[in-house]
Amino acid sequence: MKKIIEDDFMQRVKSILKTSHFSLGIGDIADATGVSQRQLRYWEKKGYIKPSTGTEEGKHRKYSYFTLAKVSLIQSFIETGFTLNAAVTKADEHREVANALKQLVINRLSSVETLDNGFKFNLGPIEGLPGKDLIATIHTGQDTTFTLENQPS
Amino acid sequence: MKKIIEDDFMQRVKSILKTSHFSLGIGDIADATGVSQRQLRYWEKKGYIKPSTGTEEGKHRKYSYFTLAKVSLIQSFIETGFTLNAAVTKADEHREVANALKQLVINRLSSVETLDNGFKFNLGPIEGLPGKDLIATIHTGQDTTFTLENQPS
DNA sequence: CGTGTAAGGAATTCTGACACG
DNA sequence: CGTGTAAGGAATTCTGACACG
């Protein structure tokens, strides 16, 4: 009942994760974060955020996913009572977290199996435990567990 | 030189990951995947993909990130020589992979430390290894390694 | 089947300004 | 400082059709 997803598929997924540089419009950012378009343009003018596609030629602004994350963080701090400037400072301290998470997945994901109600991800070896692979098991709607399995010989 | 990011921050990041339902326009999907707008509308008409925001009221289409991933996968199979219909079938077999990856991060990420040139993620305990926490270490531009550390007492 | 194109209308975003404070 | 609003123009997307095959 389980099915090992072929390496070919994993290559495609990794390639997509690495190369897919998608962008969002200002309305998409506003809807997702609750920050108004007026605020986003003002924050840009102050240098707090910047669109990936310049608006030099009078075109619509485009934002990266990391800008979305940053806007969400800033908004989160503002709601807590920080001033805009203080919220930006706090958000900037950790702006690379989302990027690092993405890198984690790209670097280590080596294979996937489908289960009846979830997935098994093979994340490769752990330092100091030769011959073992780290396995993350996800069951839909439940928690994720990590286990160790002997590497296929 | 290292800095433990406070729980407060992790709560914000988790909250953002869970609640941030962002969407992309048809032009964003087309630019990110290389699939034309004409193709996207045709694929929608055939029932292969569907926008998150209906176009009933004559508004612009909005797509989820998972639809972007699916479109990328379909395109990847088409480029390999599959027909559109066959490519959709292959993509559908694994459409929940991206969702599961997101769940993995949300479920297990418990704390983050910043290093000089990367991050340390604490992913919590492993089955069968009491007292230990799984640590993922990411160095910018390098590989990710997993190690075990004693849980803080 | 699957995609390209030109056409006219509608939805979205653009800038600069006025407002409040 | 930081954000809301109304205004007119520009960029983007809309649908239905014609085309090729």
Closest CA to B69 of A13, A138, A153: A13
Distance CA A12, CA B28 (A): 20
Q: Residue B144's pLDDT is what? A: 76
**pLDDT over threshold 70, residue B142:** no
Q: pLDDT band for position B153 (50/70/90)?
A: low
CA-atom Rg of chain B in angstroms: 20
What is the CA A40 to C1' D15 distance in angstroms? 32
The single-letter DSSP state of residue A148 is E
State whether the beta carbon of A54 lies below 7 angstroms from any atom of strand D: no
Q: How confident is the model at residue B141 (pLDDT cuts 50, 70, 90)?
A: low
Q: Which of residues 18-57 of B touch A (CB under 8 A)?
A: 20-25, 28-29, 31-33
Q: Which among B84, B80, B82, B81 has a CA at the least distance from the CA of B36?
A: B84
Q: What share of chain B is helix, strand, coil (3-state, %, to 5)?
A: 45, 20, 35
Q: Report pLDDT digits (tens) over A74-132.
A: 999 998 889 999 999 888 776 666 566 666 666 676 676 666 666 778 888 888 888 88
CB-CB under 8 Å, B105 with A119: no
Nearest in space to B143 (alpha carbons), one of A85, A4, A109, A2: A109
Residue A103 vs residue A148, higher pLDDT: A148
Token pair, residue A23, equals 């962008």
Query: Which range is least confidently modeled, A33-37, A53-57, B50-54?
Result: A53-57
Residue with tokens 């805009």: A84
Report the candidate in A19, A17, A21, A20 with the shortest Cα–Cα distance to residue A109.
A17
pLDDT at A144: 77
Alpha carbon distance B23, B63 (integer Å): 5
Distance CA B87, CA B77 (A): 5
What pTM was computed for the model? Answer: 0.72
Mean pLDDT of B138-143: 66
pLDDT higher at A11 or B129? B129
Mean pLDDT in residue range A23-30: 93
Spacing of A41 CA from D4 C1' in Å: 13
Report all structural domains of chain B as residue ranges with CATH numbers, in order of start: 3-15+109-150 (no CATH), 19-101 (1.10.1660.10)
Minimum CA–CA partner of A31 in chain B: B22
B24 and A29: CB-CB below 8 Å? Answer: no
Residue among B76, B97, B34, B79 at smallest CA distance from A22: B34
Better-predicted residue by pLDDT, A14 or B64: B64
Mutation target to probe the B interface, by most B beta carbons within 10 A, among A40, A112, A116, A119 is: A119
pLDDT of residue B96: 60
From the CA of B49 to the C1' of D21: give the distance in Å: 25
Q: Answer yes or no: is pLDDT of B4 > 70.
A: no
Which residues have a Cβ under 8 Å from the Cβ of A106 and sit 6 or more positions away? A14, A17, A18
A147 Cβ nearer than 7 Å to chain D strand: no
pLDDT at residue A41 tops 90: yes
What pLDDT does residue A136 have?
Answer: 85
Residue A73 has pLDDT above 70, yes or no: yes
Q: Least CB-CB distance to B12: which of A76, A96, A112?
A: A76
A30 Cβ contacts chain D strand, under 7 Å: no
Which of these, A57, A56, A49, lies nearest to A24 by C-alpha position? Answer: A49
- H/E stretch holding A122: strand A118-126
Q: With a cut of 60, say whether residue A60 has pLDDT above it.
A: yes
Query: Is the confidence at residue B40, as pLDDT, over 90?
Result: yes
Counting one residue from chain A and one from chain B, the pairs whose CB atoms sit within 8 A come to 154
Confidence at A25, pLDDT banded by 50, 70, 90 = very high
Distance (Å) from CA B116 to C1' D21?
A: 60
Q: Report percent pLDDT > 90 for chain B.
A: 27
DSSP conformational letter for B151: P
